[in-house]
Structure 1
Amino acid sequence: MHVIVLASQKGGSGKTTLAAHLAVAAEIAGDGPAVLIDTDPQGSLSAWWNVREAQQPALAPTSIADLPDKLRALSDAGYRFAFVDTPPAITEAISAVVRSANLVVIPTRPSPHDLRAVGSTVDLVRAAGGPFAFAVTQAKPNTRLTVQAMAALSEHGTVASAIVHDRVDYAGSMIDGRTVQESDAKGRSAAEIAELWKFVKAQIAKSTKARISKGQG
């Protein structure tokens, strides 16, 4: 089972929204079964899932302390991808979550404040030694700031070319338990989420190949 952790010290960066959307995107693309894991005490991801009509992806509530055992159980149960939403506080407990990841996705809004805050998240992920990538979220269409943000982030690591733009359908999806791919399958937001999932899959395949070549299984 591949574990994808959404992590960012900055609150409001879009971790929960991306976790939900990527898990559904995995199911739509035929890459499931996928499971969502909510380790944020605020429980926003669980609240979204509880108003959702569809039963896929699954939800597996757990604490950070119990996460390793939960991941093993979910892997044994046949899940292919687990998406872990994390609280914004950067703590040693979050470090343990990051160490369990096959890929850490760091959502980042294209604002000077968010770009300044991303350093602590990058430091934590690098200390854990795992692969990571940035996803630009809540971007305004056709703005120079978004281009500048992607350039700045690329100096620290890989940046997804699929940009998640600031549209009302994302906010609406988190209210009614659906994602933009389900509410408007042919819309621009649905297309960018599908592209982001392709990017995430490619990054995981790349890191898996690298581990195998190093004899790490």
Structure 2
Amino acid sequence: MKTVVLASQKGGAGKTTLAAHLAVAIEQAGDGPAVLIDTDPQGSLSAWWNSRAAETPTLAPSTIAELPTRLKALDAAGFAYAVIDTPPAITDSIRAVLATADLVLIPARPSPHDLRAVGSTVDLAHDAARPFVFAVTQAKANAKLTTQAVAALSQHGAVAGSIVHDRVDYASSMIDGRTVIETDPKGRSAAEMGELWAFVKARMHASTKSRKR
């Protein structure tokens, strides 16, 4: 089982939305089964899942202390991917979760404040010796700042080519436990999520291979 950890020291970057959408994208791509793990005390991902009608992806409650044991059990149960949401600005907690990651996905909005805050999350990933990639989120269409954000982030590591744009459908789909992949499967937002998962999957398997050499 491969583990993707969503981490950002800055709140509001879209970790929970990305976690939910990635898990559904995994299932839609036929790469599942996927399991979601919510380590954020706010429980936003769990609340989303509890309002969801579909049975997949699965949600597996876990405390941070229980996480390594829980992941072993989920692996034994046959899950292909675990997607883990993390709390913002709780360094020790995030560090413990990052230690379990095959890949850390760091969402960042194209704003000066968010870009300045990225460094602390990158440092945590380096400390945990975990590979990481960036995803630009909540971007405005055709905005110069988005291009600048990609350039700035690429100085630290790989950036997903699929930019997650600031569209109402992301928020509205989450209200009743769905994602844009389900509410508008042929829409631009659904395409973004499919492309993001393809990128994350490729990077995760490339990182696994390089560590085995």
1:156 counterpart = 2:156: yes
Q: Give the equivalent residue in structure 2 for 1:2.
A: 2
**What is the CA-CA distance between 1:183 and the residue it aligns to?**
0.2
Instruction: Tell whether the 8 Å contact from 1:106 to 1:133 is kept in structure 2 after alignment.
Output: yes
Aligned to 2:24: 24
Q: 1:82 — aligned with what?
A: 82
Which residue of the partner structure matches residue 47 of structure 1? 47
State the Cα distance separating 1:49 from its structure 2 match. 0.3
8 Å CA contact 1:90–1:121 kept in 2: the answer is no
Task: Provide the TM-score with structure 1 as the length reference.
Answer: 0.97
Shift of the alpha carbon at 1:47? 0.3
What SS does the aligned partner of 2:134 have? strand
User: Aligned ranges for residues 64-75 of structure 1 at < 5 Å?
Assistant: 64-75=64-75
1:40 is paired with a residue whose SS is: coil
Distance 2:91 2:155 in 1: 25
Of 53-62 and 85-94, more deviation after overlay is shown by 85-94
Letter in 2 for 1:66: E
Q: How many angstroms does 1:94 deviate by?
A: 1.4
Contact 1:19 1:83 in 2 (8 A): yes
Aligned residue type for 1:120: S
Are 1:65 and 1:93, in contact at CA under 8 Å, matched by a contact in 2? no
Counterpart residue identity of residue 62, structure 2: T
CA distance in 2, matches of 1:66, 1:173: 31
Matches within 5 A, 1:128-139: 128-139=128-139
Unpaired runs of 5+ residues, structure 1, are: none
For this pair of structures, how many residues does the alignment match?
213
Structure 2 Cα separation of the partners of residues 188 and 93 of structure 1? 35
- Distance between the aligned counterparts of 1:133 and 1:173, measured in 2? 25
Amino acid at match of 1:206: A
- Following the alignment from structure 1 to structure 2, what is the Cα–Cα distance between the partners of residues 113 and 211? 33
Task: Give the match's secondary structure for 1:176.
Answer: coil
Distance between the aligned counterparts of 1:130 and 1:79, measured in 2?
Answer: 21
Compute the RMSD of aligned alpha carbons. 0.6
Where in structure 2 are there 5+ consecutive unaligned residues? none
Deviations 1:76-117 (A, max 9, x none): 000000000000024222111101100000000000010011
- The C-alpha deviation readout for 1:154-177, integer Å capped at 9, x for no partner, is 000000000000000000111111
